Amino acid sequence: MFPRFRSFLVGIWKRSALERDLDDEMRFHLENRIEQLMRSGSSPPEAQRRAQIEFGCVETYQDKCRESRHINWLDDFRQDLRYGWCNSRKILG
């Protein structure tokens, strides 16, 4: 339980660093696959195209990583508060 809570706190306090690390890791895996494909004989443009197709949507993987850290609910809550505040100002206008 404590490691999960620590991960949650780190996710809140060091969000930008975690996002940067996540981007770097995704880029590393994609570039690694491109290099593998080029070593097997693919041209650089073809290797990049194939690697991107094989890898799929990077944003989906990033969302799954964020969900595993259990910090998405905080973003959702903040967005809900902002939405509620804006709409209440329109209604009470």
| pLDDT digit string, tens, across residues 22-62 | 889 889 999 999 999 999 999 999 999 999 999 888 888 77
| pLDDT digit string, tens, across residues 5-17 | 666 666 666 777 7
Residue 18 confidence (pLDDT): 78
Q: Using CA atoms, how far apart are residues 68 and 58, in angstroms rounded to an integer?
A: 16
- Looking at every residue in the chain, the average pLDDT score rounds to 81
- Bigger pLDDT: 84 vs 14: 84
Residue 44 confidence (pLDDT): 94
User: What does the angle CA 15 – CA 18 – CA 19 come to, to the nearest 5 degrees?
Assistant: 85
pTM: 0.57
Residue 42 confidence (pLDDT): 94
Residue 67 confidence (pLDDT): 74
